[in-house]
Structure 1
Amino acid sequence: MNEQENYDLIVIGAGPVGENVADYATRKGVRVAIVESELVGGECSYWACMPSKALLRSGHALRAAQRVPGASQAATGKLDASAVLARRTQFTSGWKDDGQAQWLESAGIELIRGRGRLLGVGKVQAGDRILSARAVALATGSIPKLPEIPGLAEARPWGTREITAADHVPESLAILGGGVAGTEMAFAFASLGSAVTLISRGPLLGREEPFAGEYAAAGLKDAGVQVRFGAAPTRVDRDQHGMVAIALDDGSSLRASELVVAAGRTPATLELGLEAAGVDAKLAVDDTMLVAGTDWLYAVGDVNGRALLTHQGKYQARIAGEAIAARLNGTPLSAGPWGAHAATADHHAVPRVIFTDPEVAAVGLTESQARDAGIPVQIVAYDLGQVAGASLHADGYSGRAQLVIDRERQVVVGATFVGQDVAELLHAATIAIVGEIPLDRLWHAVPAYPTISEIWLRLLETCRQAI
């Protein structure tokens, strides 16, 4: 081993979360090293957010054109799958991180290639180097779960990395999991020409409002995807010809060219050396991302399990980077006008978008979550297809918008939109929830006509009648 090298802060993991921790701390004069064993830019850049949405976009665009007379007559062909895959690859920079590494250098952050592991308080091993620092931030993200199904591991299934990095479109595809990744990839590869079967033990998108999963299921059916509800694999085998055979607990079976496992993710804490640092494997953190029971270790993004979404991880990273710098520089922590040292949005205002067709966009609490929290709930819903802007947007526009209202405080605590291109409606709802804007003030935020945003007027009109 080389002699110990000293820094103010060591960040383990150079995905978007780790990059932001390092960047915000560096801006405050902290000397930072960031350790990465794979590609700088992380899961989101190469195997998740960016490539998956690139795979989905072409199909969405084609179906959107087909819903508008005049355009539909011109949009008569099929997608060029090779062009879609090439565009996806462009967004990943061909799985090369030269540009991201150059950005770290330009920001004054030292990149150390290798797997980072804690050796003790403030000590990190990275390859053959021993590093020390006054603070360490873990930003290692999450890893996919592999269910314990006989034969599954031996059948060499694809995970979310393999499906988003695929170099060809399988003739047939079975997807295990009815969550976000499973439903999105079912839409993407059905549009590219695969015969797709989605296997879901329960309703689709089970963490969202029930109607969101119902719309997604209908959209999958329209896209030609076969959805097997209430079924679970009991055994998986790959034969000598490369085909995957899947036996289900209802006595049926199916065969596919490839099987994709999209059964959720778990924080990536294995092999981090937490035991050497005397830290529990479940990384409980405060709102500055400081790990409970320590005064030097931080856990930011997916690894802390608070909200496994890139944008929330980057939000946490901005707070953590400045909080770490403040502590190292001896500056008192305070929330300040920007809430600089406390990440509070994770508790009540997490926005999420599922890029199915129709899209699902939600923020805050579902009705069930609000009731479980003891909030006096009023539900307000409206048919998006009845809004003038939506009917102009696409013939036969179908969708729904719903607000979860706190009757006592007269504020919105949750919102869900389902429909074509509703993702861009979401930030208005996020602002309403984070700002705790009273309903009687929202009434004076007039939406432009004729846009889909007019749904806010219809929801508030319905709310005035109901409360």
Structure 2
Amino acid sequence: MNKYDAIVIGLGPAGMAIAGMAPLMGLKVLAIESHKVGGECLNYGCIPSKAMLKIGEVAYSTKKLDFFGLKSTSEITSSAPMDNVRTKTPKINNQMAEKMFPGVDLIIDKGLASFVDSHTVEVDGEKYEGKTIFIATGTEPFIPPIPGIQDVPILTNQNVFALEEVPESLTIIGGGAIGSELAQAFSRLGSKVTVVQKNSFLVPIGDEEAGHVLEDQFKKEGIKVFNDTQIEKVEQKNNKIYTHTTNGVLESDKLLVATGRQPVLEPLNLEKAGIDFDKRGIIVDEYNKTSQPHIFALGDCNGKSLLSHAAMHQSMLSLMSMFTPEPAESLKRSNHLVPWAVFTKPEIAQVGMTEREVKEKGTDYIVVKEDYANYTRAASEGHTTGFVKVITDLRGTIYGVTICGEAGSELIHEWVLAMQNRLTMFNIVMMQHTFPTLSLLNKRVAEQWMMTMMQNGAMEEMMKQIK
């Protein structure tokens, strides 16, 4: 039997990070991928969706068409955008994977891995033994039990990018990140798009005001949004799909389901390895260890943070834990903030708690906000939609930040660094920001906090922070 220091099951973001780092630490590594290297993110999610959003933005603004091989808006046919998504999306084949992971034994597209016991996995009839095993099998689309949904052709992120043409009309169930991004992308490429969801605002895990700002933009672009709406049934008649809702019947050529994710645990045979799990995923501790301490579950399959960057970060922490004799506080997953972003226009980015969450905790707080429209650089470039909002207090503690607007996904990282290192609003005020970058919006909102301190007679408290 082939023996390894580490076996990696799944080569999405989490598994790729392990396969890339572990050999550099002197480990003999086997990596197993049942389908495509890159996993959901590279092949069916983060990357193709961003390519499609960019093509939609170009079509919407009629600029930079030559990048996509299009000379004028008249050349944007119903098939051209989808062809370009497939062309521009990076693809990793077996030969490329070998170059990416030198020194790693690879088993790609030869079947699913399953446990024989807690140290042994089997693929395509062959058994492999690992001293340490990393499970990184990700998630797949969750299809809700809507009457009739099994009888109609549905789209998910796994097959939507394989469409030959942009549909004339599209109904999207779900207003989260995937639903919102694809709604705007398809709308800008010519689809008549309707979003229907049970939640009261778009991107419901985030800030309500940001969700409403995005919805206002959707309405300007002709995207219909039905919030607080239940789906009663779906059916197909005469090549049309009819979505029956509590707000009426929606007719469309295609139906996209974007209602969340579920872990991919079959056919791992986790019971044979003595690994505990539930419907949310594989149960792990703060160090991403399963009920078997030599087996880690990383990324989406443990249900903690369904984000590619979180998966890669968990991989780094777990590898470091392998070489740490005693548990290290700094390697605990919960000690590291997880920001997220939705790449619509305007973008929505978040770190820490929303105002709703702070309020529910009963924490005393204040809200300081700076609008994009008030900053000359943003206004001069037409980026007047959105805001930087910080949930803080009179001491300058930063509880959470929402950025809704141009480059929000980039601007959020200053706040991640500040919060993770327990810096305050005063530290942001005192940091010089290059003018006229958009990052100056972060400083301007911190200055709003300082003005609030003065108005509340708390200047003396603020001055205590000067050392």
What's the counterpart of residue 70 of structure 1?
none
1:392 and 1:78, CA in 2 relative to 1: closer, same or farther beyond 3 A?
Answer: farther
Gaps of 5+ in 2: 64-70, 454-467
The match for 1:343 among 310, 333, 340 is 333
Deviations 1:437-463 (A, max 9, x none): 122222111222223222123211211
Q: Are 1:24 and 1:322, in contact at CA under 8 Å, matched by a contact in 2?
A: no
* More displaced stretch, 282-291 vs 150-159: 282-291
Q: Is the 8 A contact 2:428 2:443 kept in 1?
A: no
For 2:325, the aligned partner's letter is P
Where does the alignment leave 5 or more consecutive residues of structure 1 unmatched? 67-73
450-459 vs 128-137, which moves further: 450-459
Q: Percent identity?
A: 29
Q: Is the 8 A contact 1:114 1:126 kept in 2?
A: yes
- 1 CA distance for matches of 2:93 and 2:55? 25
Equivalent residue of 1:260, what SS? strand
1:398 equivalent to 2:385? Answer: yes
CA shift, 1:186, in A, is 0.5
Q: Name the stretch that deviates more: 432-441 or 168-177.
A: 432-441
Residues 1:438 and 2:424 aligned together: yes
Cα RMSD after superposing both structures: 2.3
CA contact (8 A) 1:233 1:246 kept: yes
Give 1:289's aligned residue: 288
Q: Distance in 1 between matches of 2:128 and 2:365?
A: 52
Give the corresponding residue for 1:231.
Answer: 229
Q: Tell me: CA distance 1:154–1:62, structure 2 relative to 1, closer, same or farther (3 Å).
A: closer
* Conservation of the 8 A alpha-carbon contact between 1:41 and 1:100: no
Give matches, 1:54-203, under 5 Å.
Answer: 54-63=51-60, 79=76, 82-93=79-90, 97-98=93-94, 100-112=96-108, 113-202=110-199, 203=201
Q: Which amino acid aligns with 2:107?
A: L
Q: 1:142 to 1:78 in 2, by over 3 A?
A: same
Once residues 118 and 413 of structure 2 are traced to their aligned partners in structure 1, the CA distance between those partners, rounded to angstroms, is 41
Q: Counterpart amino acid of 1:433? A: M
Q: CA deviation at 1:50?
A: 0.3
Q: Secondary structure in 1 aligned to 2:399?
A: strand
Does residue 380 (structure 1) correspond to residue 368 (structure 2)? The answer is yes
Q: Tell me how many residue pairs correspond in the alignment.
A: 441
The CA deviation at 1:209 is: 0.6
CA-to-partner distance for each residue in 1:139-188, whole Å, 9 max, x for gaps? 00111111101110111211111223322111111100011111110001
Displacement of 1:263 in angstroms is: 0.3
What is the CA deviation profile of residues 99-140 of structure 1, one whole-angstrom value per residue up to 9, with x for unaligned ones?
542235524343353201112211111121111111111100
Q: Scaled by the length of structure 2, what TM-score is found? A: 0.88
CA distance in 2, matches of 1:300, 1:352: 18
The answer to whether the 8 Å contact 2:59/2:189 transfers is: no
Which residue does 1:363 correspond to in 2?
351
1:21 aligns to what?
A: 18
The structure-2 alpha-carbon separation of the partners of 1:65 and 1:465, relative to structure 1 and needing over 3 Å to count, comes to farther
TM-aligned CA deviation for residue 406 of structure 1: 4.9
- Alignment match, 1:71: none
Deviation larger for 40-49 or 100-109: 100-109
Name the structure 1 match of 2:463. Answer: none
What is aligned with 1:453?
439
Q: Mapping of 1:1-40 within 5 angstroms?
A: 4-40=1-37
Q: What's 1:317 paired with?
A: 315
Which residue, 251, 255, 273 being the options, matches 2:269? 273
Match of 2:413 in 1: 427
| AA in 2 matched with 1:111 | I
- Aligned to 1:157, the other structure's residue is in SS state coil
TM-score by length of 1: 0.88
Distance 1:24 1:233 in 2: 45
Could you list the per-position Cα deviations for residues 4-28 of structure 1 after superposition, in whole angstroms to 9, with x for gaps in the alignment?
Answer: 3221111110112101122222211
Q: Which amino acid aligns with 1:224?
A: G
Q: Secondary structure of the equivalent of 2:116?
A: strand
Q: Distance in 1 between matches of 2:302 and 2:214?
A: 29
Q: CA deviation at 1:77?
A: 6.2
